[in-house]
């Protein structure tokens, strides 16, 4: 009799834990990073990353580099095979668009806190990093009129 009660309680606890973990979602986040800031400001292109931009071709709102071990699932980011010269062009145009605001680098972290890439943009924007399996990630883009919205503040 007691064995059945213990088994039922254990099963209920397991189901509760499964439900709780699924309801939490698998979300990553951005963490400010001096190293990421320096990498973008010095136009370093990491061969172990795949780069993407969001926003206008000439002046992106953000640049991200995702580790090659991950796949970015999004039609909103434009994949780039960046050279140092192209990185210099994009970062320079972003600086011009930012006017008197500063740009910042961030580490992109998965739901466990492991670094899966880098992000470069104006700070203080809200994005979502969805972890969609072992090697897939979806990242929302910043607002399209990011520089215009921020310069009015």
Q: Would you tell me the crossing angle of helices 34-41 and 84-98 to the nearest 10 degrees?
A: 110
For 85-129, the pLDDT digits (tens) are: 999 999 999 998 888 789 999 999 999 999 999 999 999 889 999
Number of domains in the chain: 1
CA 110 from chain centre, in angstroms, equals 9
Domain that holds residue 78: 27-151
Residue 12 in domain: no
For 6-34, the pLDDT digits (tens) are: 776 666 666 555 555 554 569 999 999 99
Other beta carbons less than 10 A from residue 140's beta carbon: 14
Residue 6 in domain: no
What does the alpha-carbon distance between residue 118 and residue 29 come to, in Å, rounded to a whole number? 11
Residue 16 in domain: no
pTM: 0.80
**Kind and range of the H or E element at 94?**
helix 84-98
SS3 assignment, position 55: strand
Looking at every residue in the chain, the average pLDDT score rounds to 87
Residue 15 in domain: no
Answer yes or no: is pLDDT of 136 > 50: yes
Determine the number of helices (DSSP H) and then strands (DSSP E) in the chain: 4, 9
Residue 13 in domain: no
Nearest alpha carbon to residue 147 among 130, 128, 124: 124
Residue 114 in domain: yes
Residue 10 in domain: no
Tell me what pLDDT residue 123 has. Answer: 93
Residue 63 in domain: yes
């Amino acid at each position: 009799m007691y064995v059945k009660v213990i088994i039922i309680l254990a099963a209920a606890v397991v189901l509760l834990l499964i439900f709780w973990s699924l309801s939490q979602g698998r979300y990553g986040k951005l963490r400010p990073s001096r190293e990421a800031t320096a990498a973008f400001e010095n136009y370093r292109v990491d061969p172990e990353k795949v780069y993407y931009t969001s926003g206008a071709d000439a002046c992106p709102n953000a640049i991200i580099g995702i580790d090659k071990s991950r796949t970015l699932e999004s039609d909103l980011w434009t994949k780039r095979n960046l050279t140092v010269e192209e990185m210099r062009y994009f970062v320079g145009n972003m600086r011009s668009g930012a006017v008197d605001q500063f740009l910042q680098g961030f580490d992109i972290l998965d739901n466990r806190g492991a670094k899966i890439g880098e992000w470069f943009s104006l700070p203080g924007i809200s994005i979502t990093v969805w972890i969609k399996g072992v090697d897939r990630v979806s990242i929302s883009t910043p607002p399209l009129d990011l520089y215009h919205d921020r310069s009015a503040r």
